[in-house]
Chains A and B, each alone.
Chain A
Amino acid sequence: STVSPTHDEL
């Protein structure tokens, strides 16, 4: 799997 693109928060 890859890093979830929802990890857009700091």
Chain B
Amino acid sequence: APSLTAEQINMGVDWLSKFGYLPPPDPVTGQLQTKEALTKAIKAMQRFGGVEESGELDEATLVLMKTPRCSLPDVNESETARRKR
């Protein structure tokens, strides 16, 4: 698969945080996501969105991320935190 640009990865991480698949980055430490956490979040988003669960920011996933949508998160923070715990 064509390699993703840093911009696409950033967009992806922002999107996952915005809609509840990743905890929001800590404004002070700018907490970085581990590869494992990122893959899990992408899979959760793919499962919720009905696209193949590749765990990668593939074409279909990027298209879904660009689809107009409701602002509310799909997963609320407490659930994400619980998963993190």
A and B interact? no
Spell out B's residues near A (CB within 8 Å): none
